[in-house]
Amino acid sequence: MLKKKQLADSASDDFAADVLASLRADPPSISSKWLYDTQGSALFEQITRVEDYYLTRTEAAIFDEAFPALADMFGPGMAITEFGSGASIKTRRLLTALEPQLYVPIDVAEEFLQDAAEELHALFPKLEIIPLVADLTAPYELPEAFTRKNRRLGFFPGSTIGNFPEEVAVQFLRGARAAMGDKAHLLISADLVKDKDVLERAYDDSEGVTRQFTLNLLTRMNRELSADFDISQFRHVSRFNTEKSRIEIFVESLAAQTVSIAGEAFTFEKGDRIQTEYSYKYTQESFAQLLSQSGWEVEQVWTDPNDWFGVFLASA
Ligand SMILES: C[S@@+](CC[C@H](N)C(=O)[O-])C[C@H]1O[C@@H](n2cnc3c(N)ncnc32)[C@H](O)[C@@H]1O
What is the average pLDDT score of the chain?
A: 95
Q: How far is CA 176 from CA 95, 137, 146, 180, in A?
A: 20, 10, 13, 6
What's the CATH code of the domain at 160? 3.40.50.150
Give yes or no: residues 266 and 236 share one domain: yes
φ, ψ at 266 (rounded to 5°)? -125, 130
Give alpha helix (H) positions in 79-165. 89-98, 110-123, 144-147
Asked, for residue 112, whether it belongs to a domain, the answer is yes
Closest listed residue to residue 296, CA positions, set 178, 207, 147, 132: 178
Asked, for residue 165, whether it belongs to a domain, the answer is yes
What mean pLDDT comes out for the span 261-276?
97
11 has pLDDT over 60: no
Cβ–Cβ under 8 Å, residues 35 and 20: no
Residue 120's domain comprises 55-194+283-315
308 has pLDDT over 70: yes
pTM equals: 0.94
What's the pLDDT band for 90 if we cut at 50, 70, 90? Answer: confident
* Widest distance between CA atoms in the chain: 60
Instruction: Output the pLDDT for position 189.
Output: 98
Output the CA 264–ligand 1 centroid distance in Å.
29
Best residue for ligand 1 mutational test, from 12, 103, 108 (most atoms within 8 Å of Cβ): 108
Instruction: Output the pLDDT for position 112.
Output: 85
26 has pLDDT over 70: yes
Asked, for residue 123, whether it belongs to a domain, the answer is yes
pLDDT digits (tens, 9 = 90+) for 108-134: 888 889 999 999 999 999 999 999 999
Q: Give the binding-site residues of ligand 1, using a 6 Å CB cut-off.
A: 33, 36, 41, 44, 48, 84-86, 90, 107-109, 135-137, 157-158, 160
Best residue for ligand 1 mutational test, from 107, 120, 188, 217 (most atoms within 8 Å of Cβ): 107
| 26: Cβ contacts below 8 Å, ≥ 6 apart | none
225 has pLDDT over 70: yes
Give yes or no: residues 249 and 276 share one domain: yes
pLDDT digits (tens, 9 = 90+) for 130-146: 999 999 998 999 999 99
